[in-house]
Amino acid sequence: MSTTIAITAADINKLRQATGAGMMDCRKALTETNGDFEAAIDWLRKQGQKVAAKRSDREAKEGVIIAKTTADNKTGFIVCISCETDFVSKNADFVAFAQSIADAAVSNNAKTVEELNEVTINGAKVADMINDKLASIGEKIGVSRFERIEAPFVASYIHGANRMGVLVALNQEAAEAGKDIAMQIAAMNPLAVDAESIPATTIERERAIVVETMKADPKMAGKPEEMIAKIAEGKLNAFFKEQTLLAQPFVKDSSKSVADYLKSVNAGLKVIEFKRVALG
């Protein structure tokens, strides 16, 4: 006997917030996919809806994000201390608290959240400090995101009153270019450095959505599979241009791509990787 998942108003609201789709569409998407959140997003996109694909950088609703590097710019850290309300996240004491934990991550070269929680600040473990803070303010708080990058040169950037943090790893020292690229990533939210860096599963998911959308288009009715596949590849290439850092138009000069900008700074300058963490 098959079971049907009950779709709640909270489920529908969560999908609406993540995608921007209408309430009835979200209800139908969840019903069609038996409550599978990720599958519901794909279902909406296959219907041709322009929805925001869920990204891993949209987990914490409120909090403070600190992005910073070691003094030699060889290692970068992003620490997100999450909370429940903007009343707390905007509080100067809470921002200072988050800053002290990020400083501890840098000075102790923490590799993971678990390591960071064990670090001591003035004799107290970070995990214990978080528990004390939780008790004093009455909100659930914690280290909700932790990112770390090592490279010949790492640039960091914090955007919008600690609501977003970016790290960019470069193959050589280039402070100004590093900041420019970090600002690009903050503004344009690329999926990856280049097409080769996008996971095969993501590419296949996008291809399937493009093909399904085209098949649902009355103008494509009766068109041969080869033609649909060829057009789909063209649409995928457009997706790469929009979603990969090096192919994106450079925000400070849209007449050139980010790759062109890097070459203009130094022919050998390359972006190795990046991390972007934002509050939802």
pLDDT at residue number 1: 40
Question: Is-above-0.85 flag for pTM?
Answer: no
pLDDT (tens digit, 9 = 90+) per residue, 123-134? 999 999 998 988
HEC per residue, 157-194:
EEECCCCEEEEEEECCCCHHHHHHHHHHHHHHCCCECC
Query: Measured at the alpha carbon of residue 227, what is the angle toward residues 225 and 230, in degrees to the nearest 5?
Result: 110
Query: Measured at the alpha carbon of residue 23, what is the angle toward residues 21 and 25, in degrees to the nearest 5?
Result: 65
Q: Please list, in sequence order, all residues whose beta carbon lies within 8 angstroms of the beta carbon of residue 55, skipping any fewer than 6 positions away.
A: 189
pLDDT at residue number 60: 53
pLDDT (tens digit, 9 = 90+) per residue, 262-277? 999 999 999 999 999 9
Question: Which CATH number describes the domain made up of 62-171?
Answer: 3.30.479.20
pLDDT at residue number 20: 78
pLDDT at residue number 58: 42
When pLDDT is cut at 50, 70 and 90, the band that residue 155 belongs to is very high
pLDDT at residue number 56: 44
E strands in 14-109: 62-69, 75-83
Is 62-171 in the same CATH topology as 1-54? no
pLDDT (tens digit, 9 = 90+) per residue, 195-226? 888 888 888 888 888 888 888 888 888 888 88
Q: Where are the domains of the chain?
A: 1-54, 62-171
In CATH terms, 1-54 corresponds, of 3.40.228.10, 3.90.1150.10, 1.20.120.530, 1.10.8.10, to 1.10.8.10
